[in-house]
Amino acid sequence: MAPGSEYRVHTRFSPDGAVLLGVAKANGGTETPLGEEVPVPGVSHVPGRTLVVRVRVRGASPTTIDAKVWAVGAPEPSGWQVTRTDAEEALQSAGAVGVRASLSDSSVLDGPVRFSVDDLNATSPK
């Protein structure tokens, strides 16, 4: 995979507590959404609630990116909540796995923001 090129799965919290899930690609410093972000039914952001995000990336030309999110303690959704495909040449080889958190400049907060990662697993199908 070309340096600076990657697929990204976004889990965003809207001010009304809705959780949005989306997929984008980054190439050459430009991020391009792969379709619209979608609200996740039955999942809301509540301070202190832990969410689980599962992502599956498979294939090449096209690559398929699947994602889902749910609250700890709730059953895992049986299907993928977002599926996107892309065949951009610079992104069609093996890459790395990473996690990043960001906070928009327009966020209005009443307290500290805490982001943590637990049990990050990256596996390859056999």
Please report whether residue 125 resides in a domain: no
Q: Is pLDDT at 1 greater than 70 in this prediction? A: no
Compare 108 and 86 and report the one with higher pLDDT: 86
d(CA 67, CA 57): 9
Please report whether residue 72 resides in a domain: yes
| Strands 38-44 and 82-86, bridge-based pairing | unpaired
- Which residue segment(s) compose the domain that 21 sits in? 6-91
d(CA 123, CA 126): 9
Q: Which of 66-75, 86-95, 103-112 has the lowest mean pLDDT?
A: 103-112
Closest CA to 88 of 3, 5, 11: 5
The number of domains in the chain is 1
| Strands 30-33 and 18-27, bridge-based pairing | antiparallel
Please report whether residue 126 resides in a domain: no
